[in-house]
Every structure is written in C-alpha cells, then in structure tokens.
Amino acid sequence: MPQNTMLTHPDEFKLGMFSANCSGGLAVTKIPERWDNSWQNNLKHAQMAEDAGFDFLLPIARWIGYGGETDFHGSVLETVTWATGLLAHTRSINVFATIHTAFNHPVVVAKQLATMDHIGNGRVGLNLVAGWNRPEYEALGGDLPQDHETRYRMAQEWLDVLNRLWREPQPFEFSGEFWQLQRTYSNPKPLADRLPIINAAGSAQGREFATRNADFLFTTVITLEAAQKEIGELKQQARALGRDIGVMTLSSVFCRPSRAEAQEYYRYVVDNADHGAIDNIVRIMFANAESFPKAALEGLRERFAAGHGGWPLIGTPDDVADGLEQLAAAGLDGSVFGFVDYNKELPYFEQEVLPRLQRKGMRIPREQKRQRA
C-alpha cells in the first residue's frame, strides 16, 4: 500500500506551489504579464515543480472572481478535474484538490478522491474549506452559515462521513444534522493508507477543527515573533489531543541576482495593484473570515498586491533562503509559494534557492530521500 509522501520526511521543510490554477495566481496586480492560468501553463508548471523536487501543488477553489479591473480569480480551473489531469501527467509530486464542504456531497467526493488516488498511485491530498466567501455562496444559491460554530460543525460531519466511507467495508446508515444517508458505502477505497488533509482556518472554532482533523494547518504570518508564539500554541493544542500537526504558511517570491533588481520588480508589481479587487478581498474577508487578524487586514494591502497577503520573500537567492530559514526557525514546517510568473521564475529559484536550502539542512537531496524511502 503506498504511503503519501506528504506524511513522510517530517524533518524536511515542505515546499508547495499555490494558486497556479487561478487567473493572476497570487498577485493582485494589473501588469500585463500577470499569471495566465491556462491548462497548458498549469501542466508545464506542474512538471517543472515536480522536476525541481517540490512536494505538492495546492489549488484554490474559487467560483466567482473578486472584480476590480482584472476580475482577479475570475477564471479558475476547477480543482478536482485540474488535480486529476495533473496526477495523470506527473509521477511523484502530490496534488491536492480543494473542496468546499457546503458545495460538495461527501459520498461524491469520497469516490472522486479515491479514483484520483488510483490515477496518481497514492499522491492525492484534500484541502478542506468550511466556507467564508459570502458572494460566492450567493452565486451558488447556498447559504453561508453566519456563525463559525455551524460552519465547522458541518465540516466535521462532512469529514466523519468521508472517513467512514473510506474505512468501512460494509454499507452503513448515517443520521446527522446535515446528512442522512441510508445503506451508503464507497469503493474503491483510496490507494494510500491515509490521505493528507490541509485546513487553513484562522478562527478559534476552525483551529479546533484543524488540530483535531488536519495533518497541516495553514496560517498567515504577520510578524515572525507573533507567528512563533501562535505556531507553538497550535502544536500544543494538537498534542493535547494526542496528535502531531504540521503548520505551514503562504509566501510570495521576488528573487533576482541583486536586491535592487528584486525590489524594482516588486515595486512594479505593487505600484500596479488592482485596488478595486483588493478592496473587495479585504471587505469580504473582514466581514466573513478570520484568516488574517482583522486589525491587520487594512495594513496588508501591499502584501495582497504582491501575493494575496503572503509573507514576502524579496531579494537575492541568499535573502530568500535566509527568509525561509527564519520561517522554519519560527516553527513552520513548510510554505506554499506564489510567483508572478511561476514558469518563468521557477528555474532561477530551483537553481539558486533550493541548493541553499539543502546546505542549510532544510531540504534533503533527492537521491538521499530515495535511499531512505
């Protein structure tokens, strides 16, 4: 039975690519060369990330865009079908699907992910979203529960059904608050003995859910000091439940041979921010989500322009590698990345930053990894 490699090598700083399935990627900018999320670009991106030794690809599930001049995230490749296509065209990288529990029936998802795991030979993962983006719920004719308690009670029931479908050989009855299922079962089971689960909750209720259920919790870094304290508390919260949880974040990379060049490109991207789209993101998040502390949101507008609020890594390869080392020192177990143009910028990152991370002991060279497997 294959083991998903997201759940092995816990000593390695995990590297993922984020949001390449969405128009604009992570940068809320109007520059004409902003990310084009065509399938051909995504396929190339996945194969390049795999060849570079990245651990995983994480898509965003988005059903309507954020408006503004560019309608940021107005075009999005749907994540289950996107991940299935990529799993069929890659050999070793893990690929996540992002699922909104309110929009996707757990019996359908159990079979989709199991099928994908067979296609990818044990490489699929699940990013669970309990819901926050109210206009999106309205576009789907759904009702976003106002309170976080109901959102995460629903997510828990959804996941309980999924886990039973994957584990239990016999049909069973399920009588819950949100789903009533008779003689339900799902075959085939996933290939891997366990699928990695990501959850990116920011609220107390969401973090209670994540520490109970997820393998990796994503958090946003506002300052390294605050992150260190928060990560320690999250890991402690999981340990109190007898669980080990990895904590990761999102970063945006502007890496060039000199600091001046990196800064110049960064300024070009943020000076051309799509302010209309950023206004909408900040407004919707403020009203409905706790992914970023509310007090910090307004101050993060430039960071949204550069990379959807991610931790900025700007400078030479040494600066970027040192920045990642600081994240690891704060207790983070990995990061997902946005690049303005993923495919153009990845080769330089691979060539210059990844060897530095190996020298710092944050990444295991691939040959060594193969020997340990």
Query: Which residues are near ligand FMN by CB under 6 A?
Result: 60-61, 98, 127, 129-130, 132-133, 148, 200-203, 206, 218, 250, 289-291, 336
- How is residue 56 written in tokens? 């995983």
- How is residue 51 written in tokens? 């060849």
Pick the closer one to ligand FMN by CB: 126 or 269: 126
Strands 197-199 and 124-129 turn out to be: parallel
Pick the closer one to ligand FMN by CB: 218 or 254: 218
Tell the smallest beta-carbon distance from residue 361 to ligand FMN (Å): 25
Distance separating alpha carbons of residues 33 and 345, to the nearest angstrom: 12
**98 closest CA partner among 138, 165, 141, 112:** 112
- Compute the C-alpha angle 1/47/347, nearest 5°: 130
Tell the smallest beta-carbon distance from residue 292 to ligand FMN (Å): 8
Tell the smallest beta-carbon distance from residue 207 to ligand FMN (Å): 7
Within the chain, where are the H helices?
A: 39-52, 79-88, 106-119, 134-139, 148-167, 204-213, 224-239, 259-271, 275-288, 294-297, 301-307, 317-329, 342-348, 354-359, 366-372
**Burial level of 151, CB count in 10 A (0-12/13-18/19+)?**
buried
Pick the closer one to ligand FMN by CB: 31 or 282: 282
Cα 142–chain centre separation? 24
Pick the closer one to ligand FMN by CB: 137 or 254: 137
Pick the closer one to ligand FMN by CB: 134 or 369: 134
Pick the closer one to ligand FMN by CB: 42 or 316: 42
